[in-house]
Amino acid sequence: MNTASGHVDTIEDARARLGMWVFLASEIMFFGPVFLAYLYGRHAWPEAFEAASRSTDFWLGTINTAVLLSSSLFVAIALLLAQRGDLRPARRSLDVVVLLGAVFLLIKGWEYRQDWLQGLVPGRAGFHVEHAANQAAAQLFYFIYFFATLLHAVHMAIGIGLMLYCRGKLAGPKGRNSVRRLEICGLYWHFVDIVWIFLFPALYLAGRAS
């Protein structure tokens, strides 16, 4: 089977690809219940969840989404270049991916710091969300917020590690395995991006218009 780049698939490629997609299926089932918990909260405490959602940082969230979507572009470009045999440009592209990933985590860290200073960390004494009649339910929102974004951040960190690993392998003796590895790790990266695509509107955009 030829992909768009003219790269010819082997049976090992197909096996590895299937293995990663099965793993991603399990990851869909891993993140999914967090969204169920969110939907429960939104259903049971709509005003509190919307008020808490308004207290997240709209701009940092939107910028982070753009950063992550762009990083996915560069992963796809890196794979295309590597399949064509242009290994140095592929490595450059991966550099951009790692940079964007790091930017994402830095922005997230900054957001967490802001949340801490503004009393939005659940379980601490000074927790307060503006205009939320039910502070306990607002705490629930922030529990889900921190749980989901921390879980996502851990996956991002693993993704960055994988990209660095792939970049290192591309620099070594050229082999089919390096390109296969990049494709597999790229699939993981795109999946983590997709999780954020759903987390962003859920956590940042609810109730903004009120």
Partner 1 sequence: MKTLILTWIALMVLLCITAFGSLLPLGPANAILNAAIAAAKAVLVAMFFMHLRHGIALIRIAAVVALVMLSLLFILSGADFLTRHIQHSAWQGRGSDLSTESVRKAVNNY
Partner 2 sequence: MNIGRAAPPRTMPDGSSSSYLHDGYTLWSWLTSRDHKRIAILYALSITAFFFIGAVAAALMRLELVTPAADFVDADTYNRLFTAHGVIMVWMFLIPSIPSVFGNFVLPLMIGARDLAFPRLNLLSWYLYAFGGLFTIAALMLGGVDTGWTFYTPYSSVFSNTHVILTLAGVLIVGFSSILTGLNFIVTVHTLRAPGMGWMRMPLFVWAIYATSVILVLATPVLAITLLLLAAERVLHIGLFNPALGGDPLLFQHLFWFYSHPAVYIMVLPAMGVASEIIPCFARRPVFGYRFMAFAIIGIAVISFLVWGHHMFVSGQSVYASMVFSVLSFTVAVPSAIKVFNWTATLYKGSITFSAPMLYALGFVVLFLQGGLTGLFLASLAVDVHVTDTYFVVAHFHYIMVGGAVMAYLGAVHYWWPKITGRLYSEAWARTAALIIFAGFNLTFFPQYLLGYEGMPRRYHSYPDHFQALNVLSSGGAALLALGYLLPVAYLLWSLRRGARAPSNPWRASGLEWTTPSPPPQHNFDRPPDGSKPPYDYPPIGSTQK
Q: Which residues bind partner 1 (CB under 8 A)?
A: 1, 3-4, 14, 17-18, 21-22, 24-26, 28-29, 32-33, 35-36, 39-40, 43-45, 58, 62, 65-66, 69-70, 72-73, 75-77, 80, 123, 125, 127-128, 133-137, 139, 186-187, 190-191, 193-194, 197-198, 200-201, 205-206, 208-210
Spatial neighbors of 92 by CB under 8 A, at least 6 apart, are none
Helical pair 46-54 and 135-171, crossing angle rounded to 10 deg: 50
Contact flag: residue 29 with partner 2 (CB under 8 A):
yes
Mark 99-128 with x for binding to partner 2 (rule: CB under 8 A) and - for no binding.
-----------------------xx-----
Phi (first) and psi of residue 61, to 5 degrees: -65, -45
Which of partner 2, partner 1, none sits in contact with 119, Cβ below 5 to 8 A by type? none
C-alpha angle 198/66/181, rounded to 5°? 80
Spatial neighbors of 93 by CB under 8 A, at least 6 apart, are 74, 75, 77, 78, 81
- Cβ closest to partner 2, residue 123 vs residue 173: 123
Contact flag: residue 154 with partner 2 (CB under 8 A):
no
Which of partner 2, partner 1, none sits in contact with 75, Cβ below 5 to 8 A by type? partner 1
User: Minimum CB separation from partner 2 for residue 102, in Å?
Assistant: 26
Spatial neighbors of 150 by CB under 8 A, at least 6 apart, are none
- Cβ closest to partner 1, residue 40 vs residue 165: 40
Is the Cβ–Cβ distance between 169 and 177 less than 8 Å?
yes
